[in-house]
Amino acid sequence: LNVGLVDADVFGFSIPGLLGIADAKPTPVGELIMPPRAHGVAVISIGMFVDARTAVSWRGPMLHRTVQQFLTDVHFGDLDVLLLDLPPGTGDVAISIGQLLPHAEVLVVTTPQTAAADVAERSALVARQTGQTVIGVVENMAGLVQVDGSVLELFGSGGGADAAERLGVPLLAQIPLSVALREGGDAGEPIVLRPGDAAGDSIIQLADDLARRGRGLAGRKLGLSPR
């Protein structure tokens, strides 16, 4: 699939580093921006416009304008999927995405911990209030497999399943804790490039399941246009 990725976590941007393109910069072409590509994915992030050691401390209007420009001024080309990585919670960015992409589909990501699941569930409720569709829950950091095959549940268990049940959506994946996943993220080498890791295999299965859903916004007017 042709995939674009928007790092909408403006305060905690991390996508460029995770994909190994921390030093990449977009290319201006007329009034549009050509995003860098990593592993075949077109990527845009505020981290490409500010120094990596800079703390972004913007209020709502600036956040809204930034997200809007990522959606209108970046030339992704013909995409099958546009993924947006949102910050946790129900803040300005989540509200802006709801206004700009009211028909988008939302994946709720939580850890197994009950407190985290409660916060993630509230973000799903805000998404529904803006017209978005919650399609499922992903439980991250689901457990650490030990040498003897047992699973150490550092962050508890059941949070993802409970959130999915309360929201009336499926639990789409449980991504286990993985040293290789952490190492790959720090090195800018996605875990899905390393076959055989349980976390990577779970992520690939999740991607396959999502790909079979089709293009949910195909043919719909988004109410957005380039400047």
pLDDT at site 176: 94
**DSSP characters for 124-144?**
HHHHHHTT-EEEEEEEES--E
**How many angstroms separate the CA atoms of 69 and 71, rounded?**
5
**How many angstroms separate the CA atoms of 141 and 41, rounded?**
25
Across the chain, mean pLDDT equals 89
48-52, 108-112, 145-149: the lowest-pLDDT one:
48-52
Closest CA to 96 of 121, 116, 72: 72
88-92, 154-158, 212-216: the lowest-pLDDT one:
212-216
**How many angstroms separate the CA atoms of 67 and 96, rounded?**
8
DSSP 50: S
pLDDT at site 145: 84
38-47, 51-60, 198-207: the lowest-pLDDT one:
51-60
Closest CA to 1 of 59, 98, 80, 84: 80
- CA dist list (Å): 117 to 47, 50, 82, 140: 28, 32, 25, 11
